[in-house]
Amino acid sequence: MESLYPDFKGKEYLEQWERVGRWYEKLLLVKHGYYKDESHKELLDIVYVYFMNIQHLRDWVVNSRKDLKDEVMDLYRQSCFIICADFINNHKHLERNKRGKQSAQDSEAAIKHQHVTATVGTARFSMSVAGSIECAVQEKVDRAYARGAKYRWDIVHGEQKYDAYDLAKECFDCWQQFLGSKRLLNNENGSKVVDK
């Protein structure tokens, strides 16, 4: 499929990479309680959509750069992507189709715990230079803005709990490192989503 945007011609994977970055920023806004008027269901949708987009990035890179297929498949053998794949595949369907290729390590992987923290008052940040995407997201918001509730979700996979935000960051960092090491990010795409 050809990208809708001419600046991605020949580098269609960058369209999906930028989409991942935008959803990661939304996820960080959820993490820090900046969406105070949305229901917890709407906030959870952001979690699901982020993980779906990071999972689909694999297909975008493989289909844009067929020469990297084996390396991308190796990348997806890392535990964070195995958890992500099982989580998203289990979420996509009411019931898993047991026929065909079944590569899931945990067909029950899902969000099973939700934690809520309410914040009273306002929050102010003193950081002036964004050293990470997380800081940049915080700097976008008015420092006197009263935050809403903070939600945290645990993804259970193989009887272990994983913080959804930690898993999201690990997947994001792995992709950023991979794309950077292959020189697949131009300055604009790479610097937008730096998280150090």
Nearest-angstrom CA–CA distance, 192 and 130: 11
DSSP H helical ranges for 32-163: 40-64, 69-75, 79-92, 133-140
At 161 the three-state DSSP class reads strand
Instruction: Summarize pLDDT for 49-69 with one digit per residue, the tens.
Output: 999 999 999 999 999 999 999
Beta carbons of 46 and 23 less than 8 angstroms apart: yes
How many CB atoms lie under 10 A from the CB of residue 121? 7
What is residue 129's DSSP assignment? S
Nearest-angstrom CA–CA distance, 138 and 156: 28
Instruction: Summarize pLDDT for 28-51 with one digit per residue, the tens.
Output: 999 988 887 888 889 999 999 999
Question: What pTM does this model have?
Answer: 0.76
pLDDT band per the 50, 70, 90 thresholds, residue 193: very low
